[in-house]
């Protein structure tokens, strides 16, 4: 079945992102978002697997006027699957989740994840009460997903089925305290780090 | 609004006292997996329009939620039972490494007068597990000490950017009665 090139897909999701706030998962999506261009409005997870969606929810509830896009992997989201139910109950209109789904734990030796074995994360999101959810496998699907992720009332989730090729490692800063402080300074001003 | 907790006047006051500390420190997101010991406090939080009360499916979600809250400019608090503390362990690396102010209030099971042996391992493990991750732990064993402990932990968390847990013993909560 057709798949998207993951770096191009992530670039499309974040194109002209302006003041969109972004949270990544650990591993592949961290490198993908860094490759699309570093920003203080991105909070990269280098660990804490399963945290991305809920970190996005916390930001979305604190900043209802800002769009929050979580860009995470299938393995990362599977570790926090209950998060989808918690998010659906909170109904954050400004929260979108992009799942960059290669059906692999690529960082640890390319072992298959559940999404290649019949687990459809878009259907999970729909079943727990997300406002909309979809899966994209081609350019037309990607265009629809980008519109949903950037503009549709949330919570919404788009699964992007991507190629399994290994990409060049593009690493953002990895000191979490620095990433936290620069995110808060960009969002809240210098008083936030005083 | 007074919460109806039986026993002494002090026992009646302590959930309200925790709520007042949370308000004084401008806590805006309260995450919880319910515990009977937190029931009155959860009701107070839910009744307050300035507080977003988020029920979780598992406690580690709360650590990530409060990280996001702080990134977005709000303070939070995680309410959980001692058993749930075990669920949070790897996720605590998030608040620890990123130096996110973190306040958790843990109602204990598996220690003073416990009936259910399944609660005992995590009851014994709560403090060592938290301390292994570098979380400061304040234990409370009497109702009159709750307010000071929560306030001290809130100060350490929000003023000194630390990660703190207050554990409230079954000596305060009363051991769960396994009766109809």
For B62-118, what is each residue's pLDDT tens digit?
999 999 999 999 999 999 999 999 999 999 999 999 999 999 999 999 999 999 999
pLDDT in tens, B121-178: 999 999 999 999 999 999 999 999 999 999 999 999 999 999 999 999 999 998 778 8
In the stretch 104-163 of chain B, residues with CB closer than 8 A to chain A read none
Give the nearest partner residue to B72 out of A47, A58, A86, using CB atoms. Answer: A58
**Inter-chain residue contact A188 with B74, CB threshold 8 Å:** no
pLDDT tens digits, one per residue of A131-141: 999 999 999 99
Instruction: Compute the nearest-CA separation of A79 from chain B (Å).
Output: 11
Q: Which residues of B touch A21 (CB under 8 A)?
A: 72
Contact B126, B152 (CB under 8 A): no
- Best residue in A51, A76, A82, A194 to probe B by mutation, most B CBs within 10 Å? A51
- With a cut of 90, say whether residue B12 has pLDDT above it: no
Q: A33 vs A24, A70, A144, A190, CA distance in Å?
A: 7, 10, 20, 25
Per-residue model confidence as pLDDT tens digits over A38-66: 999 999 999 999 999 999 999 999 999 99
pLDDT of residue B8: 56
Q: Which strands sit side by side in the sheet containing A42-43, from one edge to the other?
A: A42-43, A21-24, A68-73, A95-101, A156-161, A132-136
The number of beta carbons lying within 10 Å of the beta carbon of residue A43 is 27
Token pair of A117 as six digits: 């074995």
Q: Is the pLDDT at A83 greater than 50, yes or no?
A: yes
């Amino acid at each position: 079945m057709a798949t998207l090139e993951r770096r191009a897909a992530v670039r499309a999701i974040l194109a002209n992102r302006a003041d969109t706030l972004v949270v990544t998962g650990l591993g592949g999506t961290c490198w993908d978002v860094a490759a699309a261009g570093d920003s203080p409005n991105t909070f990269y997870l280098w660990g804490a697997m399963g945290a991305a969606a809920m970190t996005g929810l916390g930001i979305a509830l604190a900043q209802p006027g800002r769009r929050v896009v979580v860009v995470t992997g299938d393995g990362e989201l599977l570790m926090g699957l209950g998060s989808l139910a918690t998010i659906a109950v909170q109904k954050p209109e400004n929260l979108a989740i992009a799942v960059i789904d290669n059906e692999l734990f690529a960082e640890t030796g390319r072992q298959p994840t559940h999404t290649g074995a019949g687990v459809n994360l878009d259907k999970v999101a729909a079943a727990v009460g997300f406002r909309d959810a979809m899966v994209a496998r081609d350019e037309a699907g990607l265009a629809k997903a980008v519109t949903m992720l950037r503009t549709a009332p949330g919570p919404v989730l788009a699964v992007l089925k991507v190629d399994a090729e290994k990409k060049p490692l593009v690493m953002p800063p990895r000191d979490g305290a620095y990433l936290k402080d620069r995110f808060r300074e960009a969002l809240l001003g210098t008083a936030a780090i005083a | 609004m007074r919460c109806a907790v039986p026993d002494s006047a002090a026992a009646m006051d302590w959930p309200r006292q925790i709520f007042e500390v949370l308000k004084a420190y401008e806590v805006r997101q309260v995450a919880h997996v319910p515990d009977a010991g937190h029931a009155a406090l959860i009701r107070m939080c839910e009744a307050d329009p300035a507080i977003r009360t988020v029920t979780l499916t598992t406690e580690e979600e709360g650590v990530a939620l409060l990280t996001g809250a702080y990134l977005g400019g709000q303070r939070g608090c995680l309410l959980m039972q001692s058993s749930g503390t075990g669920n949070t362990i790897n996720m605590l690396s998030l608040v620890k490494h990123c130096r996110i102010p973190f306040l958790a209030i843990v109602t204990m099971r598996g220690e003073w007068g416990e009936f259910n042996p399944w609660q005992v391992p995590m009851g014994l493990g709560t403090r060592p597990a938290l301390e292994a991750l570098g979380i400061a732990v304040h234990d409370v064993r009497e109702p009159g000490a709750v307010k000071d402990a929560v306030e001290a932990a809130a100060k350490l968390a929000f003023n000194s950017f630390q990660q703190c847990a207050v554990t409230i013993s079954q000596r305060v909560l009363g051991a769960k009665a396994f009766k109809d």
